Amino acid sequence: MMLPAPRAPFRRLRWTPLAVLGAGALALGVPHAFARTDDAPGARLAQACAGRDGWAEPAPPARIAPETGIKAWYVGTCGITALLLDTDAGLVLLDSGVAEAAPLILGNIRKLGFDPREVRWLLGSHEHHDHVGGHGAVQRATGAKVAALAVAARSLTRGKITLDDPQRGAISDFAPVRVDRVLADSEGLVVGSLVLTPHATPAHTPGSTSWTIASRVPGAPAMTLAYVDSATTVSAKGYRFTDHPDRVTQARAGFAAIAALPCDVLVTPHPSASNLFARLSGSEALNDPQACVRYAARASEYLDTRLSQERANDHQAEVPKS
């Protein structure tokens, strides 16, 4: 049985032909719109994903830090973040997860009362299938434009990671996507009420991109949401960072860039990397201007340890056996 329509509009509707089409779809029973849930609790997300971190395991959506004045929601899975932003001039989606997760992310957008066709821009953290594997499906479903830094853009259009990616051989290809705009490092993308600024942070991959998000509404809180890319220097089997000093230099530049970011609220592509669910549930502090500094320091220590281990292995190999 179809439920009666809500008395109040769930959204500031603009009566364009697209809006009329959407209203017709709702009347036919298509899952187009639901009552807005701006207060989707982080505690529910943390509870739903307790002990689960699969890349395609469904998770409920959750509002992120409304005190920033930025309308942001977690719409990803238990293991991979997808960040939805309402700019008052359309939606922006940061990351799309693995291809299998695209329907889950689109479903979470609908659960929040939005039409996925309102997604105007599709952005990404880094060019691996676990974060941009769903870009193709989301782009087809929404008609969104894709923007990326140059290195990531080349991978996105080919559906393959770069030849100098340390994880080459361990990362799957993904569906190629159309890139509509190639951004320069620190070139702000203005969408409605928000400015989204990409920062080259090539620690995890050559095309790693972190994004800072700030409101441009007069009188809004002067707080920044930082969507900071993975910074771990992991690799495919057999890769040695000591054999690739240029890659080490790039990674260290990435750590420095991350540490310098404005970072009132840290969100990461793997939620576990920043204890995001615990922070959204209130069991840990969500707002912390020093979070990016510590995040970069941990990544730097990880690389130092790895380099030391590689050198130790070299030394052991040189010791003749008695």
Torsion over CA of 161, 312, 230 and 287, rounded to 10 degrees?
Answer: -170
Active-site hit among 204, 227, 264, 295? 204
Contacts of 187 (CB under 8 A, 6+ apart): 197, 198
Active-site hit among 74, 227, 239, 295? 239
> Is 199 annotated as catalytic?
no
Active-site hit among 86, 115, 130, 264? 130
> Is 129 annotated as catalytic?
no
Q: Among 62, 82, 211, which Cα is nearest to 135's?
A: 82
194-200 and 209-215 beta bridge pairing:
antiparallel
> Is 131 annotated as catalytic?
yes
Distance CA 93, CA 89 (A): 13
> Is 128 annotated as catalytic?
yes
> Is 239 annotated as catalytic?
yes
How many C-beta atoms surround the C-beta of residue 122 within 10 A? 28
Active-site hit among 32, 115, 126, 199? 126
Contacts of 163 (CB under 8 A, 6+ apart): none
Active-site hit among 32, 229, 270, 295? 270
Q: What is the DSSP letter of 243?
A: G
How many C-beta atoms surround the C-beta of residue 202 within 10 A? 24
Q: Compute CA 280 distance to the chain's CA centroid, rounded to the nearest angstrom.
A: 16
**How is residue 172 written in tokens?**
């799957």
Active-site hit among 131, 199, 227, 264? 131
| Sheet order of strands, 265-267 included | 189-191, 194-200, 209-215, 224-227, 265-267
DSSP three-state, residue 170: coil
DSSP three-state, residue 71: strand
What positions carry a catalytic annotation?
Answer: 126, 128, 130-131, 204, 239, 270
